[in-house]
């Protein structure tokens, strides 16, 4: 075991020291920065996260700023990253840190786990990177690497597999560099043992250890049972506009995209006749109506297939459930989910 541990841990850390990317959240061990980066990285690639991360840190440099931020501003900072509940959880957790931990992010694994939006992976990442705790941080990318090196055919979409891999890899986490070890595994998954396409096995520090490589099973691992197919929801999206204003609707406080602004829409396909009918029901006078764009947006469990219609009014007219805002304010004030981006461009 000792020799195996040296081979596995030592070769990985040596590889990491030469190959790690310079990233803004690796500049220091500030737990706040590491926490924010980990939450952002759960949804998007490293390159895409960088500008969001820099902007977020400039706007909200301390936990206290996050705890006090206005909800609309927070949504604006998160706009485009998706999964807005993650941003809401960040703020709720920041409040908890202010109230229960005197404004300091706790350096204890269970305390981290008790914060909103922090699960086993994130607690492991923050705990090991910021506080040198010898705990694993196993996400989908790390599971891919581990399934391959161990030739493990367990289904990596199962929570049980994640727990078991976490336990097994824990034996290799070194006392002096737990955060580097976990980040090295993540890095290996991101740049060598890649998810799509052929992994770069000739550059892997574990090429002599890797079971899948030795047994020519790279293509078969990791095992993932197919997910249930997503439900499709058709939508008609209304771009109700004047020359410089547009009508928005605020979504309810529960469910998908809760509390966010959107263009008014109905969950059905509509022909021009039923659109006319709807316009009449709203009691508005349109001076022009035309189809405007089509879009598809994929969430984890549902797909929206959307068709837009642009309805021009000479002047804003009162609408019960909608609010007129300037088109300009969509740029800096109202956060629109990226599902609606293609329609915003048509205003």
Of all residues in this chain, which one has the CB nearest to ligand ADE in the complex?
Answer: 41
Q: Looking at 38, 79, 187, 316, which residue is catalytic? A: 38
Phi-psi region of 79 (alpha: psi -120 to 50; beta: other; left: phi over 0): beta
Report the distance separating Cα 309 and Cα 307, nearest Å.
7
| Residues that bind ligand ADE in the complex, under the rule CB under 6 A | 23, 38, 41, 46, 125, 183, 186, 190
- Three-state secondary structure call for residue 195: coil
47 neighbors 211 (Cβ within 8 angstroms):
no
Report the distance separating Cα 89 and Cα 71, nearest Å.
11
**Encoding tokens for residue 172?**
């290799």
Q: How far is the CB of 120 from ligand ADE (least distance, A)?
A: 14
91 neighbors 69 (Cβ within 8 angstroms):
yes
Pick the closer one to ligand ADE by CB: 185 or 309: 185
Question: Catalytic annotation on 164?
Answer: no
Q: Which residue, chain included where needed, has tokens 């990253």?
A: 81
Residue 198: Cβ-neighbour burial (10 angstroms; 0-12, 13-18, 19+): exposed
104 neighbors 4 (Cβ within 8 angstroms):
no
Smallest CA-to-CA distance from 256 within 301, 321, 294 is with 301
DSSP one-letter string for 14-74: HHHHHH----GGGSS--HHHHHHHHHHHTTS-HHHHHHHHHHHHHH--SHHHHHH--HHHH
Point out which residues pair with 327 in neighbouring strands.
none
Pick the closer one to ligand ADE by CB: 192 or 260: 192
Q: How far is the CB of 264 from ligand ADE (least distance, A)?
A: 37
Query: What amino acid positions are annotated as catalytic residues?
Result: 38
């Amino acid at each position: 075991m000792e020799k195996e541990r040296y081979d596995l841990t030592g070769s990985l850390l040596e590889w990491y020291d030469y190959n790690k990317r310079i990233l803004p959240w690796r500049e220091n061990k500030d737990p706040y920065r590491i926490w924010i980066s980990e939450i952002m990285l759960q949804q998007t690639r490293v390159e895409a996260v960088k500008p969001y991360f820099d902007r977020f840190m400039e706007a909200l440099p301390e936990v206290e700023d996050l705890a006090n931020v206005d909800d609309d501003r927070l949504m604006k900072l998160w706009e485009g990253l998706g999964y807005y509940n993650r941003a809401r959880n960040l703020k709720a957790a920041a409040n908890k840190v202010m109230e229960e931990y005197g404004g300091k992010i706790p350096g204890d694994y269970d305390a981290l786990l008790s914060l909103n939006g922090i699960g086993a992976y994130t607690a492991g990442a923050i705990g090991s990177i910021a506080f040198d705790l010898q705990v694993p941080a196993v996400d989908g990318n790390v599971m891919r690497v581990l399934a391959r090196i161990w030739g493990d055919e367990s289904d990596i979409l199962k929570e049980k597999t994640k727990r078991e891999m976490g336990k097994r890899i824990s034996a290799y986490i070194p006392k002096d560099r737990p955060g580097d070890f976990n980040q090295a595994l993540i890095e290996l998954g991101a740049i060598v043992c890649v998810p799509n396409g052929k992994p770069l096995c000739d550059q892997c520090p574990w090429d002599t250890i890797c079971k899948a490589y030795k047994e020519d099973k790279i293509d078969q691992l990791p095992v993932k049972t197919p997910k249930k197919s997503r439900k499709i929801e058709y939508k008609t999206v209304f771009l109700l506009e004047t020359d410089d204003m547009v009508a928005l609707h605020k979504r309810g406080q529960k469910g998908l995209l809760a509390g966010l602004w959107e263009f008014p829409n109905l969950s059905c396909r509509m022909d021009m006749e039923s659109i006319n009918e709807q316009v009449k029901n709203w009691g508005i006078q349109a001076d022009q109506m035309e189809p405007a764009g089509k879009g598809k947006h994929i969430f984890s469990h549902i797909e929206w297939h959307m068709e837009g219609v642009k309805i021009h009014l000479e002047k804003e007219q009162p609408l019960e459930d909608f609010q007129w805002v300037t088109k300009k304010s969509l740029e800096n004030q109202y956060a629109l989910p990226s599902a609606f981006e293609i329609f915003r461009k048509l205003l």
